[in-house]
Amino acid sequence: MPSGDLFALGLREAATAVRSGSVSPVELTEACLARIRALDGAIRAWAHLDQDGALATARERLAEVRSGRLRGPLHGVPVGVKDIVDVAGMPTTGGAKPFAHTRPAVDAPAVSRLRAAGAIILGKTVTTEFAYRDPAPTRNPWNQGHTPGGSSAGSAAALAARMAPLAIGSQTVGSVLRPAAYCGVVGFKGTHGLVPVAGVIPLAWSLDHVGVLTRSVGDAALAMSVLAGRALDPQPVSAPRIALAPELLERASPDVAAHVQSVADAFVRAGATVSKVELPASFRGIHAAGLTVLEVEAAAYHAPAFARHADDYSKEMRSLIETGLRHPATAYVNANHARLAFREDVMPLLEAHDALLSPTAPAAAPAGLGSTGDGSLCAPWSNAGVPAISLPSGIAASGLPHAIQLIQGAGASARLLGVAAWCERALAFSQAPSV
């Protein structure tokens, strides 16, 4: 591959090329940095870029390759990290004024694991303020007049624009999967707690997940294995049993619902069994319950700083915190009970199938940068703490990506990755934005 095209390598391709010596970590890092310099003035995916540090690390990784010492499966591969995750020596601003000058001295455990695996940290990707709803300036590489979603806006846009083969994100409601869907890349979060959230600015401790954005399911499995500290090899499946809940399709636009139904039909033709299922009654209250938990936990974390610097918070964040502070303790306890009851109620359905199929979002990426879109179809699975993955699945009439979401039960990340790999092969989606 010409050196100028190295930015297009996926995660596993890049790691294999470095390991074999056919590509040097310096060449790969330089290609990603050149891509960022060429495109990020318009896309605005990066909050902080450590060009000198990344190249210095790349030279170290090259020397290690030449001496036969490989640190791990990501040796010499450039990575972007969402700007709510601590990287030693780099700013962690959370996209917010109160943290504008924060520069941690210690890596978050997730970043320590990336470094131990040999990864090169390029810099920090843009987040919405405190990973909540206030839109970021990042633009969708498929159409710069549309949002890339949020809150992992920069991570998704960087992947779609081929600025890095891996970016780290976080999800409390839909902040990994929805941007992945809008930007036509793979977004994956495992079971709640699979990846440590220490060193990550919290939005809601009970709901926060560290996730990954990649260009394939296999890349997501590799990245999550590193972050989790244990192998998550996709479990092979030849004829998956897929559940489809009409209630989820009813919550999507007609265009998206028709697309997901066509995907289900294609899966049947490829050898899957698709069965219509009914979600438990507790599903109906899960959105309200999860929102209450989010409001109270966000308020608990931000209350000390908010009391001193309320004017430094956006209108959206002020409203969130003030609402959370008004909730009585009983409301929080009842909401958490409802959330955990839904998780218990839905587990038999999930365990009886290889995956539940759903739209990732009710519609394709909205026009403008005034909203990050609708996370309501991702929220139930974040609230339940179960693994979920978004796969690009086609192109809408608007020219923007379509996506599907696959969900499995708690502790079944490897099982979900296996059926996702099967679905990815059946979909055979390979398009990229023309940036």
Query: Cβ atoms within 10 A of the Cβ of 250, count?
Result: 8
Rounded-to-integer distance, Cα 27 and Cα 105, Å: 29
Instruction: Choose among 73, 71, 50, 49: nearest CA to 61.
Output: 71
**What are the φ and ψ backbone dihedral angles of 168, each rounded to 5 degrees?**
-95, 135
Catalytic option among 152, 170, 175, 393 = 175
Rounded-to-integer distance, Cα 188 and Cα 177, Å: 7
Instruction: Choose among 404, 400, 377: nearest CA to 242.
Output: 404
Instruction: Give me the sheet containing 46-49, strands edge to edge.
Output: 46-49, 120-125, 78-82, 167-171, 209-214, 186-189, 388-395, 401-407, 355-359, 241-244, 273-276
Residue 275 designated active-site: no
Residues 6+ apart with CB under 8 A from 150: 127, 128, 133, 135, 136, 175, 178, 179, 372, 373
Instruction: Choose among 123, 119, 44: nearest CA to 369.
Output: 44
Rounded-to-integer distance, Cα 210 and Cα 212, Å: 7
User: Which of the 8 DSSP states describes residue 400?
Assistant: S
Catalytic option among 151, 206, 216, 282 = 151
CA distances from 119 to 11, 50, 115, 185, 189 (A): 11, 14, 5, 20, 20
Residue 175 designated active-site: yes
Rounded-to-integer distance, Cα 205 and Cα 239, Å: 37
Rounded-to-integer distance, Cα 375 and Cα 358, Å: 13
| DSSP-derived pairing of the beta strands 401-407 and 388-395 | antiparallel
**Element at 401 (helix H, strand E):** strand 401-407
Rounded-to-integer distance, Cα 336 and Cα 373, Å: 25
Q: Which residues are catalytic?
A: 82, 151, 175
